[in-house]
Amino acid sequence: MASGSYDEILRRAQDELTQQEQLRLSETLAQHASRKNGGRHQITDLRGLGKEIWQGVNADEHVNRERESWDR
């Protein structure tokens, strides 16, 4: 990759992403760069994936609703 591409990506990440998005991007890139198993994924690569979906959800209430649905 040309250094101009790197510089452009870095500038866009700094200008357009929130701090949380920048941290998520850096974690993803670090995991990708450190993979040593021939491109195979580790289960730990999924850590935190989709966590924004569960923000504000009470885990106990969710589990109770799911269990109640089994009896219907």
Euclidean distance between CA atoms 19 and 1, whole angstroms: 25
pLDDT on residue 37: 58
pLDDT on residue 39: 65
DSSP for 7-56?
A: HHHHHHHHHHS-HHHHHHHHHHHHHHHH--STTPPPGGGGTTTTGGGGTT
pLDDT on residue 42: 77
pLDDT, tens only, 2-47: 667 999 999 999 999 999 999 999 988 887 777 765 667 778 888 8
pLDDT on residue 3: 61
Its pTM stands at 0.45
